[in-house]
A and B are shown apart, each in its own frame.
Chain A
Amino acid sequence: MIQNAQDDSGPGGRIALRMTGISKRFGPVQALSDVAFTVRKGTVHALVGENGAGKSTLMKVLAGVYQPDTGSIEIGGKAMAFANPGKAIEAGISMIYQELDLAEDLTVAANVFLGMEPRGKLPMTVDHHKITEDTGELARRFNFDIDPAATVADLSTGDCQIVEVLKAMMRNASIIVMDEPTSSLSEREAERLFEIVRDLRKRGFSIIYISHRLEEIVDLADDISVLRDGCVVHTGSADHIDIPMIVHHMVGRELKDFYPERNVQIGGALFNADKLCSDAGVKDISFEVRTGEIVGMAGLVGAGRTEVARAIFGVDKHTGGTLVLDGKELAIKSPVDAISNGIAYLTEDRKRTGLCLELPCSWNITLPNLCDIGMKHLISPGRETRIAADYGSRISVKWSSPTAGADSLSGGNQQKVLIARWLLAESRFLIVDEPTRGIDIGAKKEIYTLLNQLAEQGKGILFISSELPELFGVTDRILVMRRRTLVGNLKTKDTTPDEVMHLAAVEEH
């Protein structure tokens, strides 16, 4: 069945994909202009750029979702034109999107064979036995440890990606596009994914790898292309480029101090959790956050970091322990109580638990704050828009107008709208959960700076993140979670990423 991509002399020799002169315009926006993009066979080619630089558009052109205005695509030396995504799949192109698109209620095998199921003995039936067998066989060939009969909804994000890879293999893909594959993976799952990518490369597949995480890109990629404002500003071997150079190409300027300088005076106790337990399973969580302090929280996915935030914010039910803010013991039963006591929670999934996407940005900003801005009984739209515009401009949100729909903004600006929401709430204690996930490097830096400014104003911040570099870049102290309990409370300047990782990942017996 499917082994390796067509045999070849080895990496570097032949060209798997050549896109030349690709231009695409949406109304007034020139999304791509005269883009040339070449992927050598059997290599990993990283595609980087800020949000809105044109990466997704270029990949959608490749996948047949968009038709380019000009330009040509060659696969293995043959000119191609993809009228629709089906044609691109036939030509051996497989996309693995950031938001995986799997049928959650079906089994792994059914997903892998989706749309190409072998006929069963009776007409209109599927040979479930055969698809399970074949999927298992395929998984074994790639050394994937996955149960073909498992339901996708029960799998971790990392396992779902494996299903996507299997799907691609089943469709004879030779070029695999991975869009931000590690953005929602724990470090350990990410490591496993890197192994898979390296293995695929060895077997002669070509991989286009899109990521905001530059560390992993320089580690993994053979070639790197940088897009900026719809143009390729750099393309070449990964051996001759380092992270500062990539950043330089991406933003068009040097980002000398990527993390803001911290010289905040840390004050007295602001927030204190004592032996906090919740019905989501976190137990005996005790820690303190002082005024002006940014406390990081590290841990693998599933370690219970978000659950701690949810317990403090009243989303999950407390089953024990006490919370104290400003010397006052809090009784928090729901987010209503948490907000009125001055706690803010920037959730990890801004689309699911943060924004009302089709509503205006201004409404999103004022949503929890209507009473505080004197609109308990009567909303005054004019004043509301002015308040939103004011808070938006303080953190330089880029929008066409404060009343534009939140869905018209880029990821980084959506995140800023949510930050504006909590700025307006004048919360004393902020919990930010993966605030920089999936946003571009420029916006990341702005968010770090903003958190730093908030700390300078005497607020306390609990910063949950899966990216150790940013935790080390911005925090004063790092809490480490493992198996829903707190296993470390370290001063950032006295510890190392290795120590944090060890605490988060290694069981002690």
Chain B
Amino acid sequence: MNKLTRQLLPFGTLVLIIVALSILRPETFLSLDNFLNVLRRTSMPGIIALGMTFVIVSAGIDLSVGSMLAVSGMIGGLVMSKLTGANPAVAAIAASFLTVFAGAVCGLLNGALITKLKLPPFIVTLGTMSAFRGISYVMNDGQPYDMPTYRYLGEGLIPLWKTLEVPVAGQFRPEVDRILMPWQSVDLETVAQGSRIVPHGIPISILIFAVIIVLAGFLLKYSRMGRYTYAIGSNKEAAFHSGINVDLNLIAIYAITGLFVGIAAMIQNSRTVSSQPTAGIALELDVIAAVVIGGASLSGGRGTLTGTVVGILLISFLRNGCTMLGISTNIQLIVIGAIIIAAVSVDQLARSKAESGTGG
């Protein structure tokens, strides 16, 4: 097995899952709505997984991302609750800004503790995982903040087309009568009663995810900071002796991850129209799993963002497919666990084969 097939393996598995589900559930699975729905759900953990890729490539780990999501989300909720009298748009922008800022500060704190106290990332983020969660409970006595006007990121679309749907006698669902361009409109009075116009397009959250994939991909592959991330993960001492400011880079890596978590928290708040102190419990496991399935090595120096995106999509489609096939969430956990172990052991097998081939 060469390098290319090794990289293509998760992608092949993803395609296989999609094809299998398309055959098994052509009606429900194979629809644009379902795909957009899956992608929309993926955007939140996906954005965090992009940050986690930097962390794991640098031979680190961040267990605190789930708690960080809750804390930065709660900050956003707090801001909204203080600004109830203000213009909803201004309040939403202020909340969004502070949510992202809070995430970045949390990440910065992780990075500073890891480099300045010279503690292992596992320990530091295990500690902050607990502490951040605690803070998010303390903030509103364990209660969520309602954010009724904070909907745009969760529901908003870049409109592409609209459909006019009219009820049909004897059927539960209305049917599409005609397709309209975003700028076209129909006077609902003139069509059958109970008709509605449904907008279609790219959900804002998916767009944000896509933009961050491109940005992060660029950063990891073409920037010095990305290159140094690989070098530090592969051999920290060698990186230091090559004149790389290891501490500064590590702090930047954790801060960027925090920033991404903040953006994800924003999307999460908007989807639930509230900020929940229980948000993101066990999220770190899915995120780390995605990065590892995507081919990154927990010992550092290896991993790509394309791999991570494939990894997180694989998990999402697997979840979606299991639901469609009526497989319980409990079984889903087992399946995902098995896939993680299979992905890593295939990788390990390929590596040990490659190594024994260069003896002599």
Contacts and interface: CB of A to CB of B under 8 A. Distances in A.
Interface of A: 24, 26-27, 29, 31-32, 52, 54, 56-57, 60, 66, 230, 313, 315, 334-336, 338-340, 345, 347, 352-359, 363, 367-368, 370-371, 375-381, 408, 421
B224 interface: yes
B234 A367 contact: no
Contact of A359 (B226, B234, B241, B243): B234
B360 A57 contact: yes
Given A379-B222, A379-B227, A345 B357 contact: no
Given A60-B359, A336-B243, A378-B222, A352 B231 contact: no
B302 A335 contact: no
A335 B227 contact: no
19 contacts: A52-B360, A56-B359, A57-B359, A60-B359, A66-B359, A230-B360, A313-B241, A336-B244, A339-B242, A347-B241, A352-B237, A353-B237, A359-B230, A359-B301, A363-B231, A367-B227, A367-B238, A367-B244, A377-B224
Contacts of A421: 242
Contacts of B358: 26, 408
A128 B188 CA distance: 89
Contacts of B227: 363, 367, 370, 379
Contacts of A375: 224
A61 B360 CA distance: 11
Nearest to B235: A356
B240 interface: yes
Contacts of A358: 234, 301-302
Contact of B241 (A27, A31, A315): A315
A338 B244 CA distance: 11
B291 to A, nearest CB: 17
Contacts of A335: 240-243
Given A345-B241, A358-B302, 18 more contacts: A26-B358, A32-B360, A52-B360, A54-B360, A334-B245, A335-B241, A347-B241, A356-B301, A357-B235, A358-B301, A359-B234, A367-B227, A367-B239, A368-B243, A376-B224, A377-B224, A379-B224, A421-B242
A356 B302 CA distance: 11
A334 B223 CA distance: 22
B356 interface: yes
A505 B293 CA distance: 56
A356 B243 contact: no
Contacts of A340: 243
Nearest to A359: B234
Q: Which of A56, A339, A356 has the most CB of B within 10 A?
A: A356
Q: Which of B234, B301, B302 has the most CB of A within 10 A?
A: B234
Contacts of A52: 360
B301 A378 contact: no
B238 A353 contact: yes
Interface string B335-360: 00000000000000000000011111
Nearest to A337: B243
Contacts of A363: 227, 230-231
A60 B241 CA distance: 34
Contacts of B356: 26
Q: Which of A60, A66, A368 has the most CB of B within 10 A?
A: A368
B238 A355 contact: yes
A233 B240 CA distance: 44
A23 to B, nearest CB: 12
Contacts of B245: 334, 336
A379 B227 CA distance: 9
A356 B300 CA distance: 11
B231 A367 contact: yes
A379 B223 contact: yes
Interface in B174-232: 221-224, 226-227, 230-231
Contacts of A367: 227, 231, 238-239, 242, 244
A345 B243 CA distance: 10
* Interface magnitude class on chain B: 20 to 34
A367 B242 CA distance: 7
A370 B224 contact: yes
A357 B234 contact: yes
B241 A353 contact: yes
A433 B8 CA distance: 42
B238 A356 contact: yes
B251 to A, nearest CB: 16
- 4 tightest A-B CB contacts, nearest first: A31-B360, A356-B234, A339-B243, A368-B242
Contacts of B223: 377-379
Interface in B84-109: none
Contacts of A26: 356-360
Nearest to A366: B227
A339 to B, nearest CB: 4
Nearest to A408: B358
Q: Which of B227, B237, B241 has the most CB of A within 10 A?
A: B241
A358 B231 CA distance: 9
Contacts of A313: 241
Contacts of B230: 356, 359, 363
A353 B231 CA distance: 12
A388 to B, nearest CB: 13
B171 to A, nearest CB: 57
A376 B359 CA distance: 38
Given A363-B230, A378-B223, A338 B359 contact: no
A299 to B, nearest CB: 21
B244 A368 contact: yes
Q: Which of B234, B235, B238, B239 has the most CB of A within 10 A?
A: B238
Contacts of B238: 352-356, 367
A178 B241 CA distance: 32
Nearest to B243: A339
B357 A27 contact: yes
A408 B239 CA distance: 19
A356 B231 contact: yes
Nearest to B355: A407
A347 B241 CA distance: 8
Nearest to B227: A379
A363 B235 CA distance: 13
Contact of A29 (B224, B231, B302, B360): B360
A27 B244 CA distance: 39
Contacts of B301: 356, 358-359
Contacts of A334: 243, 245
A454 to B, nearest CB: 19
Interface in B19-65: none
A195 B358 CA distance: 36
Q: Which of B223, B237, B242 has the most CB of A within 10 A?
A: B242
A381 B243 CA distance: 21
A355 B242 CA distance: 9
A45 B227 CA distance: 47
A356 B233 CA distance: 9
Contacts of A339: 242-243
B116 to A, nearest CB: 15
A498 to B, nearest CB: 35
Nearest to B228: A367
Contacts of A379: 221-224, 226-227
Contacts of A230: 360
A91 B301 CA distance: 40
B323 to A, nearest CB: 39
B301 to A, nearest CB: 5
